[in-house]
């Protein structure tokens, strides 16, 4: 089955700096890679996603890159702000039998942005 590895587990940056979180996946058939942000006590919220037919996607201060050959994808946050502090999860889809599929999540990265 799919295996998603995420690094680092914790990341501390100064306000205004950039933050990069990296993930690798194992299933070459995966074609959808979302990133979720989870604030303490709240549900995960999608912040950006990328599909396998593109290599990069950007939305304001957030960007995601995908390298299908190497099976890795990364989240880039520029000009970080204290409100970016949260746990970030990457995920990859995979087939779970027949036409069924599932999302496998990485272990998460606790990002702390220091003012």
Partner 1 sequence: GAVVSQHPSWVICKSGTSVKIECRSLDFQATTMFWYRQFPKQSLMLMATSNEGSKATYEQGVEKDKFLINHASLTLSTLTVTSAHPEDSSFYICSASGRSDTEAFFGQGTRLTVV
Interface ranges with partner 1 (CB under 8 A)? 31-32, 34, 36, 42-46, 49, 51, 87, 89, 93, 96-97, 100-108, 110
Q: Which whole-number Å values give the CA distances from 67 to 9, 22, 33, in the listed order?
A: 21, 11, 11
Minimum Å gap between C-beta 16 and partner 1 is: 26
> Which tokens is 81 given?
């702000």
Minimum Å gap between C-beta 108 and partner 1 is: 5
By beta-carbon proximity to partner 1, the closer residue of 18 and 96 is: 96
Minimum Å gap between C-beta 34 and partner 1 is: 6
By beta-carbon proximity to partner 1, the closer residue of 42 and 83 is: 42
Give me the half-sphere count of Cα atoms (radius 13 Å) on the Cβ side of residue 69. Answer: 1
By beta-carbon proximity to partner 1, the closer residue of 97 and 115 is: 97
Minimum Å gap between C-beta 29 and partner 1 is: 10
Tell me if residue 12 falls in helix, strand or coil.
Answer: strand
């Amino acid at each position: 089955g799919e295996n998603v590895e995420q690094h680092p587990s914790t990341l501390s940056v100064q306000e205004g700096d950039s933050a990069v979180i990296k993930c690798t996946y194992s299933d070459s058939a995966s074609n959808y890679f979302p990133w979720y942000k989870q604030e303490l006590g709240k549900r995960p919220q999608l912040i950006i996603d990328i599909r396998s037919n593109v290599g990069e996607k950007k939305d304001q201060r957030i960007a995601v890159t995908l390298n299908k050959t190497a099976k890795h994808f990364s989240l880039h946050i520029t000009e970080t702000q204290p409100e970016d502090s949260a746990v970030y999860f990457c995920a990859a889809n995979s087939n779970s039998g027949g036409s069924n599929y599932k999302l496998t999540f990485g272990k998460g990265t606790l990002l702390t942005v220091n003012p």
